[in-house]
Structure 1
Amino acid sequence: MATQQIVVPKYAHTPGLTRLAYSVDGTALLTVGSNRLIRKFTVDSEDEPYSIEHHENDILGVATSRTHFATCSEDGTASLFSMTTNEMESMLVRQSLPIRDITFSPDGQWVAVAGDETTVKLVNTTDITRIITLPAHRQGVKHVAFHPNGALLATSSVDGAIRIFSISSEEPQLVKTIEGLSPPVELSDETCTKVAWHPDGRGFATQNKTRDIITISRGNWSIERSFASGHMGPINDFAWSPNGAYLATAGSDGKILIWDTQTQNIINKYSYKNVLCVQWHPNQNSLSFTTNQGQMYTLPHIIPAKLDLPFGRTIYPAPLINDPDARAAVKLAEITGDDTTGFGKPYARLPLGSDHEHEYGISEIEERNWIDDDDGAGYIPDLVEDNGSIDSPARKRGLSFADDFASNKRRFVSVIKKMQHEAFQPGSTPWKNGRRYLALNSVGYIWTVEQDMHNTVTVSFFDRGLNREYHFTDHFLYDKASLTEHAALFANSGGDGQNGRVFFREHGSLQDSWDLTFHEESITSIALSATTVVVCSSKGYVRMFNLQGSPIRIYRQSMNSVVCCASWQDFVMIVRNQGDGSGGLVYSIENVKYDETFQKNDVVDVPFDSRLTSLFFSEDGDPCIYDSDGVLLVLLHWRSPLQAKWVPLLDTKVMGRNNPDESFWPLGVVQSKFQCIILKGGEKHPYIPLPISSELDIKIPIYPDTSKLKADAKEGSKLQPDSLELEEQYLRDNVLLQLYKDSALSASGSEDGLEDDQKDEISRRELGIDKTILQLLHIACRTGQHGKAYGLLSMIYKQQALEAANKIAQRYQMTALAEKINRELEKREFE
């Protein structure tokens, strides 16, 4: 045991209930107490804390997220504050009875509040009108605690009951009630009966009736281990260290004990009276606590030096007896989505069966069959020969020629595979905090939440009048989905000995739903349109079904693996790896109904150092792609063989938003608008709940940096700032016109077969383009750009626009131009 440390307390508050919480990054420590003050200390600083006076009565709880902190009070209010400005942003809850506990969800998007009222409320931090109310408890609730992945919430009532709720949708479900385990307490009692989830999420700790800390398995809700005989009275608080290796307990007997979670042995002991709240520093070897005298202490070097090395390197498992996943460390990224442990050092998953004293660096457990590319050139290793020399590579490694050749062959195959694009489902996101989007497009979104033995799937729509949101229990663990206005398609990829599975259902009804199982095949991509279901498999098969589940087409192209697919009405577009190891992509487009191929194995225009991130059809049925460089492209003339070309509609990096941490998640293209989710703070994927969608004007990137060109124009060049925008408008309107014409002509067969409304629409668009050209002509004539003025004449569609151009030429006394316009007018009269 360590010698008692002499620590000078900070008198944060007047005597009474005092609680504290660290900021997520560990730079600040917040305390609240009976003097109605919120005090924000800067860690490792002797500066006076920042004080906030807000509540009208004693403050009973405080919690933090990455960007905010929240407090609750005996006055029945809970408030949200900015961690940066310390200003109150919103009143989360106001009720008649005291609120005694408050906590953030792991992603900071929800706050749970509990108190003397028998209901627990979850309030959305960005939209406080979104409130989820958990079913009523028999008595008041003293504690609430989110599971590390955010999918579960535990509540502790004063009657001793612990309830576990699934909050994977806005209709929470009671998963488990545990009664008779924790002692009943008074709402104002200092005894702690909270649930403290272990950082690995596989169990939690709570206090039992014999005043010991016990662990409960999340798998079967059974009692596992006990931290017994440490305290002589009730325990006032307890907390896991961020790496899960240690447990701190503070008792009414005046002791603070530090336990080893694997052995349940006490490794350190301190004597401090009246301790109410204990908190580990997020990434330092220290522990802070508060007392009922309003004091706040920080104990440095809480873990002995001999144990400090493993203290921050891994996440250690919850102390369970029958542990089906007995690993000495688990990836924290699978729990919280973070890259590091709570102590800021790299973690590694260790081999099965290793105990917690044996640690392996990541480099020791990674596969070694990838070549080291020191200069980033992406080269392929030469296949060396064993010439019998002592200096041959094979001899140096102690290998025969056959062994060395086989090793290099494996490396060669690995490099080829590395250059291939991995298959992905457009609109899907990775797991984060136990949640992910399976599909996200202009119609709506499908998201899933990980549960114990199943997932919960929710289907939502941007247009609430179109369909009602619904959710269902997913026992097949679907990892792909496609969404239209009328139906949804789901798939479990399978693989690793598991069969692939596809499930189709219409919104609002299961009557016509159907499913298919693909034995010994994994599913790489799926797509759904108003008429067609597309399923691509690992064996190169592309299967197409109607919406009733009857097969329509099947073909195989196993040499080029499918990367993704998309569909619109009867049209299907499939993107594949090029197959030659170049890292390129090719696509094919076909009409399923008529078995007609429009494009086959043409190139997808994605730069070599970029990657395809999304594939979809626009609202009008034109194929679009979006790449990792933030460029949106549309396929023009795709219905005509050998005529298709990729046209950039928008380059998000040069559109003048000037925010390097901003990125965009594509939803769709509707007319001249790019529908997307704007991601901030360096995020690469949308989070749950979904941010508000945005519409950006399509702006064709004619020039690499328009703002710089405008600056040059102002310095006296003949290039006019107004003409830059007009040129972009002309090109944009012309591309949209060509897309519309292609669609109209494909339906009618020829211009003579166009409907009257189609002819009127084409004429209207041509007239709009002519107006833009006339504005450009006006600028060219005004600035004396004769050559440019002549060139603009050939771009005009309508005769009345030519007559207007003649007037502009005469106004600026450009007689030669006016004469040319007259000749063009006469020519058109005879056509």
Structure 2
Amino acid sequence: MTTQQVVVPKYAHTPGLTRLAYSVDGRSLLTVGSNRLIRKFTVDSEDEPYSIEHHENDILGVATSRTHFATCSEDGTATLFSMRTNEMENMLVRQSLPIRDITFSPDGQWVAVAGDETMVKLINTSDITRIITLPAHRQGVKHVSFHPNGALLATSSIDGAIRVFSISSEEPELIKMIEGLTPSVESSQETSTKVAWHPDGRAFATQNKTRDIITVSRATWNIERSFASGHMGPINDFAWSPNGAYLATAGSDGKILVWDTQTQNIVEKHSYKNVLSVQWNPTQNSLSFTTNQGQMYTLPNIIPEKLDPPVGRSIYPSPLIRDPDAGDAVRLRQPTGESDTSGLSKPYGQIKMGRDRQVEYGSDVGEGNWIDDDDGAGYIPDLVPDNDSVDSPGWGRKRPLGHDFADDFANNKRRFLTVIKKMQHEAFQPGSTPWKNGRRYLALNSVGYIWTVEQDMHNTVTVSFFDRGLNREYHFTDHFLYDKACLTEEAALFASSGSDGQNSRIFVREHGSLQDSWDLTFHGETVSSIALSATTVVVCSSRGYVRVFNLQGSPIRIYRQSTNAVVSCASWQDFVMIVRNQGDGSGGLIYSIENVKYDETFQKNDVVDIPFESRLNSLFFSDDGDPCIYDSDGVLLILMHWRSPLQAKWVPLLDTKAMGRNNPDESFWPLGVQESKFHCIILKGGEKYPYIPLPISSELDISMPIYPAYSKLKEAATEGSDQNGPTDTMKLEEKYLRETVLLQLYKDAALAASGGDDGLEDDQKDEMSKRELSIDKTILQLLQIACRTGQHGKAYGLVGMIHKEQALQAANKIAQRYEMISLAEKINRELEKRAGDFL
């Protein structure tokens, strides 16, 4: 124990409740209190603090992010301020009852507010109209706390209940409620019942009913360790040191204690009365606190030199029982974030531990000049020189006499290879996103989503489902740093690609049980792409191998399809589709489709039909088992007749840019095609990738772009334009073509499953007949419009498109009604001609 330090207080506020918070860089210290002032102190400076007067009543809480600070008040308001200018930016929320606690998410994108109202709200700092509301609590909420990875939010009610919510989507889910652990308190009482997450995220600390601090495991929700017998009264506040090595507690008994988290022993003891709020400096060996007398103290050199410092590049493990990391510091990976002047954080993309976070998607070839002028000689359009002239325009500039053309040829060859390389499509995993704020989606489809968060020496993976009655969300610690994943209703597939000379690895986990999970390590190969279906696991490697396993881990097939680099792959049941770069350097894509169960090839190195300047954004099978792609132009295409060699063709189902939504900053993230609808995430504000928490998914009707301006005309027709006009006709024509395509897809699948017409089941025949009848109704509507408007030629053509006898008879009545005698005679001849077919 050291001698009591003599510290001169700063009088920041009048007597009453006080709170404080450090800025992320440790340069500023903000305090709030009952005199309605926000005071911003400069650390290690004797200058007067900057004062802000904003709220109309006592200020009850303050929180900081890298760029902002926020306050909440008894007047029921929460306000966002700029850390740089100290100016108010937004009124985050206003409610009728006091707001007692406020905190930022780790990435600073969300602010959580809690108070006497039973609803806890999360407000987006960039768009305050985006609000997530947690399910109602029984009583008011005194504290709210984000998990270090931002995936969880813990709340502490005045009735003593702790609730932990998963906020990985915009529909929060209560995953754990702990009752009877913390004491019941009044909302205005000084005693703290908050949840303080340890910096490594594996446990949290809270105060129990015997006035001790206990730790609770995040994995089991069991009590692990106890910081006991330190205080003789309730604890008003407590905080982990930045590296998790120490815990500071401030009690109503007038003591401030500093505990060693690994031994739960007291290493420092100080006597200060009426302490309400305590905070560690994030960059220095100092501790600050405020009292109910409005005083603010800072204890410098709080941890003696003989002990480990409270800050640094190492995170100490949570104090857990049977913790394999106990006693050993876990190396802290520098968190990615926006650069600041302190140099404490590197900009996003400057990644540590040999993992380049930008490699997932690479740079976009379409941006800027994509031919490198690496020797400063200027761009040369022709790769082969004109031997007849030194000054040939093919060289792009004159060459002096005696110029070494061998060097030019070598340079041109190098440039040619650079161009070819940049025209190649980068490999990607469907449904995955790049890293942002230390988080990313590994998989995102119509079943659910898998996302990962960077921790210290590992990642934390969360698997969530849209249908929560199908499977429950689960989490696990990822020590292999998986960078690819697939998700189905039965299982999840993970892969670490094995870049930077590391071995690659796959891991298959069935939902709800680890018993049947399995893994496999590949030596000397990089995993390029993976796919998972209800029956197969597909792994494509850098050596051109395609390996196929069943869900239980037994190998089914291995083959080398070609040496062209794999771009992506997808699977459905026993079918596997693999997309590769074309080997001619044209920048095009080719695909192959196999049935791996019967070792059959349906399509071999056929072309993926997307424009040259476009990129493939996603690849998946529809819920009916038809291959689909989505390109960077926002076009959704489906592959028809893919079971017949040389007959496959890509058919556009939807052009999202032609839907007439009039929002140029809007884009769509594909999830799948189900029941003839395009399931997607709508991204606004120029966003390219879904953010966390996940926005609510949307369903878009399929609308084939048969006319360039069809969607706008359709919209005009819907708003009440002439129902007999061209827009209504176009709408019916699109419906006819769409239903015809969907019917053909259904027929192809039914015939393939049954082995031909003779093997069709009665329900399949009934479904086809039902769809044909629906198409005929659309044709009859078009026929009526054609007859009414005197389009005789079009009417004749429509008659030949009708399937059913009863539809032809209805067409005959329409022709007679409009006195088109020759058309009626043609229909009668058609009825006689098809009489045998109708029997």
Aligned amino acid, residue 164 of structure 2: L
Rate the CA distance shift 1:106–1:815 in 2: closer, same or farther, 3 A: farther
- Report the Cα distance in structure 1 between the residues aligned to 2:731 and 2:281, rounded to whole angstroms: 59
Within a 5 Å distance, the mapping from 1:43-58 to structure 2 comes to 54=95
For the residue of structure 1 that corresponds to 2:559, the secondary structure is strand
- 2:239 alignment partner, one of 194, 197, 212: 194
Within a 5 Å distance, the mapping from 1:14-33 to structure 2 comes to 18-21=60-63, 26=68, 29-33=70-74
Give CA deviations for 1:542-596 in whole Å, capped at 9, x if unaligned.
Answer: 1223344333322224531111112222221111111333322110012223322
- Report the Cα distance in structure 1 between the residues aligned to 2:87 and 2:441, rounded to whole angstroms: 46
Rate the CA distance shift 1:542–1:123 in 2: closer, same or farther, 3 A: closer
Equivalence for 2:163: 121
Rate the CA distance shift 1:513–1:62 in 2: closer, same or farther, 3 A: closer
For the residue of structure 1 that corresponds to 2:238, the secondary structure is coil
Equivalence for 1:272: none
For the residue of structure 2 that corresponds to 1:194, the secondary structure is strand
- Report the Cα distance in structure 2 between the residues aligned to 1:80 and 1:586, rounded to whole angstroms: 49
- Report the Cα distance in structure 2 between the residues aligned to 1:660 and 1:137, rounded to whole angstroms: 52
Aligned amino acid, residue 647 of structure 2: Q
- Report the Cα distance in structure 1 between the residues aligned to 2:339 and 2:220, rounded to whole angstroms: 30
Equivalence for 2:102: 62
* 1:561 and 2:565 aligned: yes
For the residue of structure 2 that corresponds to 1:425, the secondary structure is coil
- 1:803 alignment partner, one of 781, 801, 809: 809
- Report the Cα distance in structure 2 between the residues aligned to 1:403 and 1:185, rounded to whole angstroms: 84
* 1:536 and 2:532 aligned: no
Rate the CA distance shift 1:370–1:115 in 2: closer, same or farther, 3 A: closer
- Report the Cα distance in structure 1 between the residues aligned to 2:619 and 2:367, rounded to whole angstroms: 33
Please, which moves more after superposition, 111-120 or 639-648? 111-120
Give CA deviations for 1:341-372 in whole Å, capped at 9, x if unaligned.
Answer: 9999983788999xxxxxxxx9xxx9xx9999
Aligned amino acid, residue 744 of structure 2: Q
- Report the Cα distance in structure 2 between the residues aligned to 1:319 and 1:227, rounded to whole angstroms: 21
* 1:701 and 2:742 aligned: no
**1:148 Cα deviation after fit:** 8.1
Rate the CA distance shift 1:187–1:212 in 2: closer, same or farther, 3 A: closer
**1:541 Cα deviation after fit:** 0.6
- Report the Cα distance in structure 2 between the residues aligned to 1:415 and 1:262, rounded to whole angstroms: 58
Rate the CA distance shift 1:430–1:117 in 2: closer, same or farther, 3 A: farther
For the residue of structure 2 that corresponds to 1:580, the secondary structure is coil
- 2:655 alignment partner, one of 651, 654, 666: 651
- Report the Cα distance in structure 2 between the residues aligned to 1:784 and 1:90, rounded to whole angstroms: 59
- 1:774 alignment partner, one of 767, 776, 780: 780
- Report the Cα distance in structure 1 between the residues aligned to 2:300 and 2:612, rounded to whole angstroms: 54
**Residues 79 and 88 in structure 2, CA contact (< 8 A), matched pair in contact too:** no
Equivalence for 1:479: 483
Rate the CA distance shift 1:2–1:560 in 2: closer, same or farther, 3 A: same
- Report the Cα distance in structure 2 between the residues aligned to 1:625 and 1:483, rounded to whole angstroms: 18
- Report the Cα distance in structure 2 between the residues aligned to 1:111 and 1:750, rounded to whole angstroms: 56
Please, which moves more after superposition, 112-121 or 712-721? 712-721
**1:521 Cα deviation after fit:** 1.2
For the residue of structure 2 that corresponds to 1:130, the secondary structure is strand
**1:331 Cα deviation after fit:** 5.4
Equivalence for 2:639: 635
Give CA deviations for 1:272-318 in whole Å, capped at 9, x if unaligned.
Answer: xxxxxxxxxxxxxxxxxxxxxxxxxxxxxxxxxxxxxxxxxxxx965
Equivalence for 2:443: 439
Give CA deviations for 1:58-97 in whole Å, capped at 9, x if unaligned.
Answer: 7542335678755444x5856437677799985865456x
Aligned amino acid, residue 742 of structure 1: D
- 1:5 alignment partner, one of 48, 70, 73: 48
Equivalence for 2:177: 133
- 2:502 alignment partner, one of 477, 482, 498: 498
Give CA deviations for 1:652-682 in whole Å, capped at 9, x if unaligned.
Answer: 2333444444433333223312233444454
- Report the Cα distance in structure 2 between the residues aligned to 1:716 and 1:95, rounded to whole angstroms: 56
Aligned amino acid, residue 724 of structure 1: M
**Residues 332 and 457 in structure 2, CA contact (< 8 A), matched pair in contact too:** no
**1:719 Cα deviation after fit:** 5.0
- Report the Cα distance in structure 1 between the residues aligned to 2:826 and 2:475, rounded to whole angstroms: 67
TM-score (norm 1): 0.72
**1:528 Cα deviation after fit:** 2.6
**Residues 79 and 88 in structure 1, CA contact (< 8 A), matched pair in contact too:** no
- Report the Cα distance in structure 2 between the residues aligned to 1:326 and 1:63, rounded to whole angstroms: 23
- Report the Cα distance in structure 2 between the residues aligned to 1:506 and 1:48, rounded to whole angstroms: 47
Aligned amino acid, residue 636 of structure 1: M
**Residues 330 and 457 in structure 2, CA contact (< 8 A), matched pair in contact too:** no
Rate the CA distance shift 1:722–1:117 in 2: closer, same or farther, 3 A: same
Note the residue ranges of structure 1 that are not aligned, 5 or more in a row. Answer: 265-315, 354-361
Rate the CA distance shift 1:708–1:51 in 2: closer, same or farther, 3 A: closer
Rate the CA distance shift 1:813–1:420 in 2: closer, same or farther, 3 A: same
**1:776 Cα deviation after fit:** 0.7
**1:47 Cα deviation after fit:** 9.6
**1:636 Cα deviation after fit:** 0.5
* 1:179 and 2:227 aligned: yes
Within a 5 Å distance, the mapping from 1:510-525 to structure 2 comes to 512-525=516-529
**Residues 149 and 454 in structure 2, CA contact (< 8 A), matched pair in contact too:** no
**1:602 Cα deviation after fit:** 1.0
**1:782 Cα deviation after fit:** 1.4
Within a 5 Å distance, the mapping from 1:69-218 to structure 2 comes to 70-73=112-115, 77=118, 79-80=120-121, 94-95=137-138, 99-104=141-146, 111-114=153-156, 119-123=161-165, 126-127=170-171, 130=174, 132-133=176-177, 137=181, 141-145=192-196, 154-157=204-207, 159=211, 161=213, 163=215, 165-166=217-218, 173=221, 177=225, 179=227, 184=231, 187=234, 189=236, 192-195=237-240, 197=242, 207=248
For the residue of structure 1 that corresponds to 2:540, the secondary structure is strand
Within a 5 Å distance, the mapping from 1:157-556 to structure 2 comes to 157=207, 159=211, 161=213, 163=215, 165-166=217-218, 173=221, 177=225, 179=227, 184=231, 187=234, 189=236, 192-195=237-240, 197=242, 207=248, 236-238=277-279, 249-250=288-289, 254=295, 318=313, 330=334, 332-333=336-337, 347=347, 376=369, 378=371, 382=380, 413-432=417-436, 435-464=439-468, 466-467=470-471, 472-508=476-512, 512-556=516-560
- Report the Cα distance in structure 1 between the residues aligned to 2:647 and 2:729, rounded to whole angstroms: 30
For the residue of structure 1 that corresponds to 2:834, the secondary structure is helix
- Report the Cα distance in structure 2 between the residues aligned to 1:505 and 1:91, rounded to whole angstroms: 30
- Report the Cα distance in structure 2 between the residues aligned to 1:615 and 1:664, rounded to whole angstroms: 14
Rate the CA distance shift 1:555–1:135 in 2: closer, same or farther, 3 A: farther
Rate the CA distance shift 1:371–1:710 in 2: closer, same or farther, 3 A: closer
- Report the Cα distance in structure 1 between the residues aligned to 2:95 and 2:430, rounded to whole angstroms: 47
- Report the Cα distance in structure 1 between the residues aligned to 2:638 and 2:92, rounded to whole angstroms: 55
* 1:824 and 2:830 aligned: yes
Q: What is the percentage of aligned positions where both structures have the same residue?
A: 53
Rate the CA distance shift 1:403–1:213 in 2: closer, same or farther, 3 A: farther
TM-score (norm 2): 0.71
Q: RMSD between aligned alpha carbons?
A: 5.4
